Chains A and B, each alone.
Chain A
Amino acid sequence: MRAGEIRAAINSDQDIVTARQKGRALAIELGFSTGDGTLIATAISELARNIVSYARRGEITLKIVHASNRQGISIIASDSGPGIRDIHQAMRDGFSTSGSLGLGLPGVRRLMDEFEIASEPGRGTVVTVKKWKL
């Protein structure tokens, strides 16, 4: 089993594709179903897109995580962008400040098992999501 973490720099729309491919590859390697691989790849795509749209650059880190007798994958999307002023508002379906669909964050939360967000205006945003293997 591979150790450590996989990092993908997110600076362009092409990096979004690369990051989600890495995520799917790791998920399949860990024994996730192809369906879960798709959910993980889609979540990465949305998180990476938020980085490109709002912060221009940032990073996606993929980690293997363990808890009692289960294994999972953790995705950390971090940037030093403008941050989110009102997280509660950002977590509502339909909210967007960049003219996008505004479904990003609540949708990602539904795709994954665990969702955490920390953001500070002017400092950046870190979103951490996890998917556990059944």
Chain B
Amino acid sequence: MEVPILKQGEVLIATFQAALSDADLNLLRMGLVQQVVKFRSRAVIVDVTAMDVMDSFASRTLREIAHMIRLRGAETVIVGIQPEVAFAMVQLGLTLEGVATALDLEEGLAYLIQKFKNID
């Protein structure tokens, strides 16, 4: 399953679908990092609103994506973790430590704009 990656100025927006397999997540990790390099993006927003399950593999992949992108000098924001998904993640002991999160796409963009303002 292909994950659409949208380019919005200096920000890339990746929208996750509900039924991503491990292979899909691995492809996405590579694809996102490559696109950050290609477009010299300053930030990536990963929208997981449609994801109905965030298991250990998915959350580890998200953390890895954020860390790789940070090594490129760009920022990652995970947006749209659903309340019941958040509950399941906490029960499983999964954290996204060191990764910025926001309520939704709008909040994620607002967070980045504020951040860029402080840097520029």
Contacts and interface: CB of A to CB of B under 8 A. Distances in A.
Interface string A108-123: 1011000000000000
* Interface size of B as a range: 20 to 34
Interface in A45-67: 45-46, 49
B87 A39 contact: yes
B93 A103 contact: yes
Given A42-B88, A107-B93, A16 B56 contact: no
A102 to B, nearest CB: 9
- The SS class assigned to the B binding surface is helix
A104 B60 CA distance: 13
A9 B60 CA distance: 25
A130 interface: no
Interface string B1-32: 00000000000000000011111000000000
A93 interface: yes
Contacts, number: 70
A35 B53 CA distance: 11
Nearest to B59: A101
Interface in B84-111: 84-85, 87-88, 91-94
Nearest to B20: A17
Nearest to A46: B55
Given A39-B87, A42-B88, A110-B91, A103 B19 contact: no
B53 A101 contact: no
Contacts of B52: 24, 38, 41
Interface residues of A, number: 27
A46 B56 contact: yes
Interface of A: 13-14, 16-17, 20-21, 24, 34-35, 37-39, 41-42, 45-46, 49, 93, 100-101, 103-104, 106-108, 110-111
Interface of B: 19-23, 52-57, 60, 82-85, 87-88, 91-94
16 contacts: A17-B21, A35-B84, A35-B87, A37-B84, A39-B84, A41-B53, A45-B53, A45-B55, A46-B56, A46-B92, A49-B57, A101-B56, A103-B93, A107-B56, A107-B94, A111-B88
The 7 lowest CB-CB distance pairs between A and B, nearest first, are: A107-B92, A13-B22, A45-B55, A38-B84, A35-B84, A42-B88, A110-B91
